[in-house]
Amino acid sequence: MHKKLFIPGPVEVAPDVLAKMATPMVGHRSQDATALQKSISEKLQKLMFTENTILLSTSSGTGLMEAAIRCCTRKRAAVFSVGSFGDRWYEIAKFNNIEADKFSSEPGQPTTPEMVEEALKTGKYDVVTVQHNETSSGIMNPVQAIGEVVKKYDDVLFLVDAVSSLGGAKIEVDAWGIDICITSTQKCLGLPPGLSLCSISDRAYEAAKQKEFRGFYLDLVKLYDRVKKSHQYPSTPSLSHMFALDYQLDRIINEEGIENRFDRHTKLANILRAWAEKHFSLFAAPECRSNTVTCINNTINFDFADLNKKLAERGFTISNGYGKFKDITFRIATMAECKEKDLLELLGAIDDILGLEI
Ligand SMILES: Cc1ncc(COP(=O)(O)O)c(C=O)c1O
């Protein structure tokens, strides 16, 4: 039996989107491939509220995180972390021999504009990385307000991990001053895993050109140059994902509507949070709760593995905690095409299995 995914990626993929993955191939140097990349770019620019260049990468989101911090950090990166994926930027920097410092918030607390200001005032940094949405802790950071701080520092580039939120929450890339905004296909965009994408500003491109060693496959300058020249890629991209993404972006923009999609995610998160607060408590502080993944404290100490096994028998699956909070929290995602009816069915099943008071 297929288990409906309420995990924070991969997510349920609509059958017609899945079917587009089986589109017959075209040559990756053909006019068809050019037209496909162009079409995807224009649609993503709408969804991301940006005029910046769109790059696709046939890697998961971590690939573009590595590309971004490696290509953009000339001096030193200030990495702001509110959980495991924020920590990942720091690990990536370390393994690429890039100078970086990590600034972690207290558990459940956001990255604040004040923290960023304090770090940037030292003059040590030319890159800031921030999580828009931290999947391990269910925190959505105030990226707009942080962007206002970063804008004051001319030589500092602002890199944002929106892997688990882009397409499910509004991110105004240009207005918020984001130089590189990264996401993966298997989360709020509602596609299978295997492709990631980012917007990149011209100033990030110019800064990257100053770096001598930017890697090869994930060299943002090489990717940017090729896209600007021909709307193609230096190596062969996952055309299957591109067909499906192009189609899915039409569904998002024209069928559902961008704002409606964001509103649906907000509504689902509110339902989930109200349920969680009735029976448990929420990990994230009230001012920074994610609209795409909710992290819940297991205050009654139920056996998570047993719950998920019983949910599987009813056709659902949810996620345990992640990283340091693996055993004391659990997570439910409401990403992509998630519907209120499905969420209510899931919550009803959990109530029933755990014998929670309705
Ligand atoms: C916030 C966040 N950043 C980065 C990643 C890594 O993305 P990927 O698995 O696509 O490499 C994830 C994956 O779950 C994530 O949730």
**What is the per-residue pLDDT across 221-253, written as a single tens digit (0 to 9) for each?**
999 999 999 999 999 999 999 999 999 999 999
**Residue 104 scores a pLDDT above 90:** yes
| Closest residue CA from atom 8 of ligand 1 | 61
Average pLDDT rounded to a whole number, residues 21-38: 98
Which of ligand 1's atoms lies nearest the C-alpha of 134?
Answer: 1
The token pair that represents 308 in the structure block? 């998920």
Mean pLDDT of the chain: 98
Pocket test for ligand 1, best of 64, 79, 85, 140 (most atoms within 8 A of CB): 85
CA of 32 to the centre of ligand 1 (A): 30
Separation of 62 CA from ligand 1 center, angstroms?
6
Taking the CA of residue 162 as reference, the ligand 1 atom at the shortest distance is 1
d(CA 308, CA 317): 6
**How far is ligand 1, taken at its centre, from the CA of residue 183, in Å?**
8
Both tokens assigned to 190:
């509602």
| Domains of the chain and any CATH numbers | 4-9+257-354 (3.90.1150.10), 17-254 (3.40.640.10)
Confidence band of 70 (pLDDT split at 50, 70, 90)? very high
What is the reported pTM? 0.98
The β-bridge relationship of strands 53-57 and 196-200 is antiparallel
247-293 pLDDT tens trace: 999 999 999 999 999 999 999 999 999 999 999 999 999 999 999 99
CA of 88 to the centre of ligand 1 (A): 9
Ligand 1 probe mutation, 11, 62, 130, 189, most atoms within 8 A of CB:
62
What average pLDDT does range 111-128 have in this prediction? 98
Residues 141-190 have pLDDT tens digits of: 999 999 999 999 999 999 999 999 999 999 999 999 999 999 999 999 99
Q: What average pLDDT does the segment 117-139 reach?
A: 98
Average pLDDT, stretch 124-147?
98
How much is the pLDDT for 155?
A: 96
Position with higher pLDDT, 352 vs 1: 352
Minimal-distance CA residue to ligand 1 atom 7: 61
Residue 357's pLDDT band, with cuts at 50, 70 and 90, is confident
Q: What's the whole-number mean pLDDT along residues 193-211?
A: 98
Pocket around ligand 1 at a 6 A CB cut-off: 9, 60-62, 85, 131, 133-135, 161, 163-164, 184, 196
- E strand segments, the chain: 4-5, 53-57, 77-81, 100-104, 127-131, 133-134, 139-140, 157-161, 180-184, 196-200, 281-282, 293-297, 316-317, 319-320, 329-333
Longest Cα–Cα distance in the chain:
61
- Measure 255 CA to ligand 1 centroid, in angstroms: 27
Q: Is the pLDDT of residue 358 over 80?
A: no
Query: Is pLDDT of 303 > 90?
Result: yes
Distances (CA, A) of 313 to 280, 320, 331, 348: 23, 17, 19, 14
Q: What do you get for the CA distance between the two ends of the chain, in Å?
A: 28
